[in-house]
Structure 1
Amino acid sequence: MAWQELRLTTDSKQAEAYSDALFDLGALSVSIEDAAADTVDEKPIFGEPGEPVDQLWDNSIVLALFDVDIDVDAIVATAAETLKLAAPSYVIVNVADQDWVRLTQSQFDPIPISPRLWITPTWHECPDPAAVSIQLDPGLAFGTGSHPTTRLCLQWLDSNIAGGENVLDYGCGSGILAIAALKLGAGETDGVDIDAQAMIASNQNAEQNGVVGQFYLPDAAPSKTYDLVVANILTNPLKALAPLLAARCRTGGRLVLSGILAEQAHEIVAIYNEWFDFTAPAEHEGWVCLSAVRK
């Protein structure tokens, strides 16, 4: 089966309106992208979990997929009329039938984290049979090892897990950090996340990797202290969670925080200094990973 892809160029104020209208008029899927993606003018947009993004890209592309027999020109005209907007600029591209599973899989290769640690999709073999390989597929929850914040945390774990530590991964997402800690030799390891889908993904991924972790929604999480607390979230949640994370880290225990833009690191350090002594941060592509020892 073939499809038609509509690529409609508009501004940030109209992109979401067109997105909703096209979906209501029969689009099979709709997404919004930066018109300047993959150029020097590309603009990253970040939002906190559960909060809407206030501003899209100044020049956005609305991508909508339609069946091959749909009159897309008529749908665009109807959308513009419904929204009381001038006719937008757009193109329609024919999309040939493909093996979408193979196409998607081809976009995800093994990711080297360190000389001995790899993230490997299940349809690949780890390039280094002697390495510690975490089998992880893109799926229900965030965290495949490709984002700088996840990579920084994994590299810290690879360098610092001595063996036997009990670990808390707060905001566990896919469970990748908890699984990595276990495969690197950590002892009892728990994960906590506010998203019930993360519980499903984390348990499935742990089973796939042959490790046993315990994963909880916040209200069900045990109230105990840990040798190591890791939280790869974002700056605002980390600020709010400071007393809780401090309470979960034993005296002399280690804290690892990421999901923090470099220019925001001082804000986090200022808040957590009440309980922790920080070491030098690690930075990659504008993101930082902070580590500290509980006072």
Structure 2
Amino acid sequence: MAWIQLNTIVEEALAEPLSDALIEIGAVSVTFTETGDQEIFEPEIGTTPIWDQTRVLGLFDAEVNPAEILLALTQWIPQIPPSAYQFEQIEDKDWIREWMDQFKPMQFGQNLWIVPSWLEAPNPNGINLLLDPGLAFGTGTHPTTAMCLKWLDQHPPKDKSVIDYGCGSGILAIAAAKLGADKVSGTDIDPQAITASKDNAQRNRVAIEFNLVKDFSATAADLLIANILAGPLKELASEFERLVKPGGQLVLSGLLASQAPDLIKHYQHYGFNLNQLDTHEDWACLSGYKA
């Protein structure tokens, strides 16, 4: 089946109304992307980030008449002139195969690998995590996740208790379990993340207890890893003080490198001695100990 794609760039205030209009006149999907001039590093929790100038893509069945689409859009949103819209034909493909081909096994440190379930592990003797891309954040492709995985590979938590706070897909908890941790638990505010984490743990044959934050009642651990955002990390300092044993380790990521000095200073008030361990692109990873 062939498709026709509508492509336009609009101001932030018009992105959502245009999306609604496209769906109303028959688009099978609508996508927002950035135009290359603005990056959104840390959106507010619970919000959908939209750029000042947003590219809007609408996908239609190839049988539609572009002239009729333009007429309808002009009536729905007269602020956008017809000349702002471009149409192109999209060839039919095996989209599932195209999507799967994007993903390859990834190595972190010396021994840790993330392997999509439909591929063979490049190193059968390595620590292989079977993890498929999905709706929950965290398949190792983001710099913050990659830095945490690299840290775990370099500091295997053998026989230690570990908390993955903000578990997403459960990737860090699963890595800790496969690297020899004695007890691992994870938590997140998103029910979808808990579901994904449980499914991924089962696929990797590791026993990990995942619960929503409101139901999370873990005791203090030897190691806590939190790959979230700088704002929540700052707010959670007192909670992490409770959840990390004296002498225990703390690894924080999800923050920009420019935010690291302030967060390091903030955590000193809660008994943590943190250092900037690593940076990748614009992101940072901190690690240290609780006094």
Counterpart of 1:9?
A: 9
What per-residue deviation string (whole Å, max 9, x for no partner) do you get for residues 106-127 of structure 1? 0111112122111111111121
Q: 2:287 aligns with which of 280, 285, 291?
A: 291
Q: CA RMSD in A?
A: 1.5
For structure 1, list consecutive stretches of 5 or more residues without a partner in the other structure: 37-41
Cα deviation, residue 192, structure 1: 0.1
1:251–1:294 CA contact under 8 A, matched in 2: yes
Counterpart of 2:161?
A: 166
Does residue 71 (structure 1) correspond to residue 49 (structure 2)? The answer is no
Given residue 253 of structure 2, which amino acid in structure 1 is its aligned partner? S
Counterpart of 1:156?
A: 151
Cα distance in structure 2, aligned partners of 1:157 and 1:206:
17
For structure 2, list consecutive stretches of 5 or more residues without a partner in the other structure: none
What per-residue deviation string (whole Å, max 9, x for no partner) do you get for residues 158-196 of structure 1? 111241111000000000000000111111100000111
Report SS of the residue matched to 2:118. Answer: coil
The 4+ residue runs of structure 1 with deviation greater than 6 A are none
Counterpart of 1:209?
A: 204
Matches within 5 A, 1:254-269: 254-269=249-264
Cα deviation, residue 57, structure 1: 4.1
Counterpart of 2:235?
A: 240
Q: Percent identity?
A: 42
Cα distance in structure 2, aligned partners of 1:98 and 1:86:
32
Cα distance in structure 1, aligned partners of 2:132 and 2:188:
19
Count of residues in Structure 1 that have an aligned counterpart in Structure 2: 288
Q: 1:61 aligns with which of 55, 61, 67?
A: 55
Report the TM-score when normalising by structure 1.
0.93
Cα distance in structure 2, aligned partners of 1:9 and 1:107:
26
Counterpart of 1:23?
A: 23
What per-residue deviation string (whole Å, max 9, x for no partner) do you get for residues 125-181 of structure 1? 121222111111111311000000000000111111241111000000000000000
Does residue 271 (structure 1) correspond to residue 266 (structure 2)? The answer is yes
Cα distance in structure 1, aligned partners of 2:150 and 2:215:
29
Counterpart of 1:110?
A: 105
Counterpart of 2:277?
A: 281
Report the TM-score when normalising by structure 2.
0.94
2:109–2:154 CA contact under 8 A, matched in 1: no
